[in-house]
Structure 1
Amino acid sequence: MLIKQQEFYINGLRYTIRSATIPDAQALSDLRLQLDGETENFDREHGEAFIDTAGFEQIIRIDTESPSNICLVAVVDNQIIGFSRCEGSALKRLAHKVEFGVGVMKEFWGYGIGKNLLQVSIDWADANNIKKIVLQVLETNDKASRLYEKLGFTVEGILKNDKRLSDGKYYHTIIMGRWKA
């Protein structure tokens, strides 16, 4: 599904959030690879589960055509610096919810980009009769957890010892959800 482009100006940075388009596929492939190397908050290590340009073209096509999917990009000076995605299910028992994921280049943390990608996704979900948004967050990502709580998400479960990070230790994954009454 597509949304209307939105402009933001926070802490001296001007950026746009809009729906991803086919010409964004290469930049999204490059960005996802870069993000995997910048933080351990994702499931993947750098280079794992690589999605090439053709793979992102397919994702963008599916998300554009599906009423329960949306792929957004954050753009600064014509450069994609972040993205988010909500993915729903065609199964009737799961059609009321979507799973949300987000990533922003570390250089652009602190400008509300992740928050605004999530807020735009929430607004889209609310306007399209999606009752529930779910997400997963690593237990060490306190900043993200606090943001999600501020935006109405609550903890629904914990996957204990779910991820093994570079320090060799195991960490929990927190499952959070937001229900629109």
Structure 2
Amino acid sequence: MIISEKIFTVRGLTYRIRSASASDAKQLSDLRLKIDGETEYLDREPGEAFLDEKAFETLIQEDAKQSRHLFLVADIEGKIVGFSRCEGHALKRSAHKVTFGIAIQKDVWGYHIGKELLASSIEWADQQGIQKMSLHVLETNQKAIRLYERHGFLIEGVLKNDKQLGDGLYYDTVVMGRQRPIS
């Protein structure tokens, strides 16, 4: 699915939120690898489950065709600094929901890029009649958990000792969901 682009300025930084295009594939491949090395909040170690330019191009093209998929990017003067994705489900019993994920490069944390990617995804999901958005977030990412809660997500469960991080310790994954408001 494709949405209209939006422009934001926060503390002097101007960025756009827009649908991903096939021409973004190389930047997205490079950015994902970079972000995986900047934080342990995501599922992967740097280089794991690597997606090259062609894989991103295919993903973007397929998502654009699907009414229950949304791939957004945040860019600053054409340089992609973050992205989010909603992935719908093909099975009838799960067709009412999407799974949400997000990644922002560390040097632009604090400029509300994640907040605006999330808000744009929620707006899209509500317009599409999607009943539920779900996501997983590492227990140590309290800032993200608070952001999701402010946008109507509730904690639905905890996956105990779900991720082993670089310190060798195991951490919980928080499962969160947002139900579409009844109109």
Give TM-score, length-normalised by structure 2.
Answer: 0.98
Query: Alpha carbon RMSD of aligned pairs, Å?
Result: 0.5
Structure 2 spans left out of the alignment, 5+ residues: none
Distance 2:24 2:50 in 1: 16
| Structure 1 partner of 2:106 | 106
Q: Does residue 55 in structure 1 map to residue 55 in structure 2?
A: yes
Following TM superposition, the consecutive aligned residue runs of length 4 or more in structure 1 with deviations greater than 2 angstroms are none
Q: Percent identity?
A: 56
Q: CA deviation at 1:90?
A: 1.2
Is 1:23–2:23 an aligned residue pair?
Answer: yes
Cα separation, 1, equivalents of 2:94 and 2:2: 21
TM-score by length of 1: 0.99
Residue of structure 1 in register with 2:122 after alignment: 122
Q: Deviation per CA, 1:36-83, whole angstroms, max 9, x where unpaired?
A: 000000010011000001100111011100000000000001100000
1:157 aligns to 2:157 (yes or no): yes
Within 2, Cα distance between the matches of 1:99 and 1:147? 16
* d(CA) in 2 for partners of 1:90, 1:144: 28
TM-superposed CA distance for 1:11, in Å, is 1.3
The separation in 1 between residues aligned to 2:16 and 2:77, in whole angstroms, is 9
- The 1-side partners of 2:164 and 2:12 are apart by 37
* SS at structure 1 position matched to 2:172: strand
Unpaired stretches in structure 1, ≥5 consecutive residues: none
Aligned to 1:39: 39
| Match of residue 71 from structure 1 | 71
What secondary structure sits across from 1:51 in the alignment? coil
Which amino acid is 2:45 matched to?
A: E
SS of 1:103's equivalent in the other structure is: strand
Tell me, what secondary structure is at the counterpart of 1:7? strand
Q: Within 2, Cα distance between the matches of 1:11 and 1:125?
A: 28
C-alpha distance in 1 between matches for 2:12 and 2:151? 24
Whole-Å separation in 1 of the counterparts to 2:110 and 2:12: 11
CA distance, structure 2, for counterparts of residue 171 and residue 25 of structure 1: 32
**SS in structure 1 at match of 2:134:** strand
CA shift for structure 1 position 159: 0.3
**How many residues get paired?**
181
SS of match in other structure, 2:81: strand
CA distance in 1, matches of 2:6, 2:89: 26
